[in-house]
Chains A and B, each alone.
Chain A
Amino acid sequence: MKEQLKIGWFEKNTKWLLLLPTIFILLALTIYPLIYSVIAMLHTVNIRTGERTFVGPGNFIRMAKDPFFWNALKNTAIYTCSAVSVEFVIGLSLAMFLTTKITGRNVFRSLILAPMMLPPIVVALIFKIIYIPDFGIINWFLALFGIKGIIWEASADTALISLILVDVWEWTPFMFLILLAGLQAIPLDPYEAAEVDGATGFQIFRDITFPMLRPAVLIALLLRIMDTLRIFDQIFIMTGGGPANATETMSIYIYRHGFRFTNIGYATAMSFIMLIITIVISNLFIKRLKIEEVF
């Protein structure tokens, strides 16, 4: 009897014991840094003495008054919105096109995925060469048609667009991949029924394809938005945030303050704002996803 009870306790609690290491790691890797960063953003840290001075909302007030912060936030917003929407439109068209039965479909599919396989640093270095106004390949082609070369990432007016184009080139395949998978998961029966009813191609897309593709669309958008919000490598390599601050994004600005100027408190406060923005946006998407699941 006693023996049985003992086994019962152990049986009951095994899951907790087995979870213990995970909980410990979570505490060490996420909870502790989170608490630490909340403390850090309310202070300014003097790394010379290691001394912390409590400033309360001081770092956030500084942010509100910091024109470079707003500039970085604006650039990040433009970058994210344009890159993700262009990637979505192209990715969806490609996915629709390559679900139809055409010859060489598989070859196309693999080819399209190639850019995604390259490390972002490599992509940045390649595009830096492609964009050279004098002997870069794009301007060379433009010259063939008598079009005056563009100064791409070196002009403050076109720098951000040039970087967005790089992102589109590299990450449209990702969009394409998820949407393609989504398209292929749609059953054929509704299409057959629609055809029998004599629906037009656009009607089929609007009433069947798109609604059934929505979960895939939401996931693709969510992942890309989270990814572009923290864009760093390409910009760091290609423009360093310039010219005239036209391509400085939040990640670059936070990096500068945190690692180059050792303003740990200020950098943490800005990262926190980024975290909140990311959480709010993702929650919007996740909620929609959940609603659809119930539906």
Chain B
Amino acid sequence: MNKLVKYLLVALMLLGLTVSVFAGGGQEEKVEEKGKLVLATLNSVEGQTTKKALLAFAELKGIEVEIVEAPYSNLFEKQVLDMSQGTGLYDIVLLDDPWFTQYAENGWLTDLGPFFEKKGESGLSDDFIPTSAAISHYPYKTGKVYAIPFFGNAQMFFYRADLFAKYGLNRAPKTWDETYAVMKKIYDSEEGVYGYVLRGQQGNPVVAQFMPVFWSFGGRMFSDDKSKVQIDTPEALNALNFFLKLKDISPPGAESFNAQQLATHMLQGTAATTINWPAFVPAFEDPKQSKIVGKIGYAPIPSGTVTGSSEIGHWIAAVPAGSKNKELAFDFIHWATSAEKQKEHAKAMGTPPTRLSVFTDPELVKMDEFKHYPILKDCIANSTPRPRIANWNEVENTFGIYLSMAVAGKISPKEALSKAQAEVEKLMKKAGYMK
């Protein structure tokens, strides 16, 4: 009896082990047969929209779907892990456009050209805003199409129209000079209102905040062929000096502000202007959480020495090279980014479209919640993408450290730029862009 029990125990344990090892494999095979679509998406309103769209698509086609939602930085890790290992776990990925160059350059994405051809189309429709279409091609603008722009984001300049009128500017501000003059007056004379609110947190936030200022002073981080780093330049120094002037009229603690703190200050009516993403527009216009309903104005980024330009920040959808259901996956993103669907998403979820016809849709433009659409459309059309390099994450982080040092007053603007120049050059050499 004792012996039997021992035998059974050992057998049971070995069995348990084998089952647990092979259980994973069994499930995956089932997925392949059924033509299931797996989507890796963000856990935000954009992610919710893609999720709803995919569920509707599944019902239409009678297929099974699975949705993997993850927070921003986690989503990048998941996607990179899957695609670099070629596991083919995901059929559709929703990605932030700065990740795109790395994905496309590494050959992780499917060339969508042949699928467009099958539908009798030559590529992305002309209805997409040209700048939105450009970031979905690799190389930028001129290469093959690897993605379809899903949600159209570009930074906008938010300003308190009522305060600007009170201090003498009765229209949307056009240049940094006139804007700064009013902002300073507001900062000096208006009780409890700061002139600007700066997004200064080290890393991506401070870089995203600096770029539009940098560009409006004629700066460019790299030469067109990426063989030269242009951070330590007079244009950049002008831009950084002005950036620090903006910080001086910002609320204390701006050195650690991220997009949410900017929105909070605007909602509370404690800041007169900011540069931020349009995702906060619905909140600004909602009387339940906003003290500035009807008082806020939207404008493109003011001009410095050259025309102002926002940073583009689109969410685009692509099909990983390892996907086993490429055609079906393409069908979905093609379907979900149609003008009809984009309008539906805008109305139901408030997510910004990427098609001109939706931005100018007569029904939408009449609605209060979309009154910023003409401005947003212009902002996207005049936007600049973050440099199209595969190691952007690392370059951005390094640049962000020195910007943060300058914003914190630890080193002078000149020193920050020359140090950033040296460090970024090292990274560009390592990545093979520079010799």
Q: Is the CB of B408 within 8 A of A256?
A: no
User: What mask results when residues 138 to 156 of chain A are scored 1 for a CB within 8 Å of chain B, else 0?
Assistant: 0000000000010111111
A58 at the interface (CB under 8 A from B): no
Taking the closest CB of chain B, its distance from the CB of A163, in whole angstroms, is 11
A131 neighbours in B (Cβ, 8 Å): 253
B261 neighbours in A (Cβ, 8 Å): 132
Taking the closest CB of chain B, its distance from the CB of A246, in whole angstroms, is 8
A37 at the interface (CB under 8 A from B): no
Q: Is the CB of B251 within 8 A of A244?
A: no
Give the secondary structure class of A's interface.
loop
Q: Is the CB of A133 within 8 A of B251?
A: yes
Q: Is the CB of A154 within 8 A of B255?
A: yes
Q: Is the CB of B391 within 8 A of A154?
A: no
Chain-A contact segment, one of B41-49, B127-135, B181-189, B196-204: B196-204
B253 neighbours in A (Cβ, 8 Å): 131-134, 151-152, 154
CA of A20 to CA of B12, assembled, Å: 12
Q: A242-B404, A243-B404, A256-B397 are in contact. Are A156 and B80 (CB under 8 A)?
A: no
Q: Is the CB of B13 within 8 A of A240?
A: no
CA of A156 to CA of B404, assembled, Å: 9
B115 at the interface (CB under 8 A from A): no
B76 neighbours in A (Cβ, 8 Å): 259-260
Contact of A47 among B80, B200, B202 (CB under 8 A): B80
Chain-A contact segment, one of B2-10, B216-224, B301-309: B2-10
Q: Is the CB of B202 within 8 A of A239?
A: yes
How many A-B Cβ pairs are below 8 Å?
A: 116
Q: A18-B13, A240-B203 are in contact. Are A260 and B251 (CB under 8 A)?
A: no
> For chain B, which range describes its interface: under 10, 10 to 19, 20 to 34, or 35 or more residues?
35 or more
B68 at the interface (CB under 8 A from A): no
B256 at the interface (CB under 8 A from A): yes
Q: A18-B13, A260-B393 are in contact. Are A156 and B408 (CB under 8 A)?
A: yes
Q: Is the CB of B252 within 8 A of A245?
A: no
CA of A246 to CA of B251, assembled, Å: 21
Taking the closest CB of chain B, its distance from the CB of A224, in whole angstroms, is 26
Q: Is the CB of B393 within 8 A of A50?
A: no
B397 neighbours in A (Cβ, 8 Å): 256, 260-261
Taking the closest CB of chain A, its distance from the CB of B192, in whole angstroms, is 9
Q: Is the CB of A154 within 8 A of B252?
A: yes
CA of A149 to CA of B409, assembled, Å: 18
Taking the closest CB of chain A, its distance from the CB of B103, in whole angstroms, is 10
B56 at the interface (CB under 8 A from A): no
B9 neighbours in A (Cβ, 8 Å): 18
B105 at the interface (CB under 8 A from A): yes
- Chain A residues 1-23 with CB under 8 Å of chain B are 7, 10, 14, 17-18, 20-21
CA of A183 to CA of B107, assembled, Å: 62
User: What mask results when residues 58 to 78 of chain B are scored 1 for a CB within 8 Å of chain A, else 0?
Assistant: 000000000000000100110
Contact of B408 among A133, A243, A260, A261 (CB under 8 A): A243
A50 neighbours in B (Cβ, 8 Å): 84
CA of A10 to CA of B411, assembled, Å: 73
Q: Is the CB of B252 within 8 A of A240?
A: no
Q: Is the CB of A242 within 8 A of B203?
A: yes
CA of A244 to CA of B205, assembled, Å: 13
Q: Is the CB of A243 within 8 A of B105?
A: no
Q: Is the CB of B13 within 8 A of A262?
A: no
Q: Is the CB of B73 within 8 A of A242?
A: no
- 6 nearest A-B pairs in the assembled complex, by CB-CB distance: A242-B202, A154-B253, A154-B256, A133-B252, A156-B408, A244-B405
8 further A-B contacts with Cβ under 8 Å, apart from A17-B10, A131-B253, are A18-B9, A21-B16, A24-B17, A154-B200, A239-B202, A242-B408, A245-B202, A263-B394
Give the interface of A toward B (CB within 8 A). Answer: 7, 10, 14, 17-18, 20-21, 24, 47-48, 50, 68, 131-134, 149, 151-156, 159, 238-246, 256, 259-263
A-B contact pairs, 5 of them (CB 8 A): A20-B13, A48-B107, A134-B270, A261-B393, A262-B84
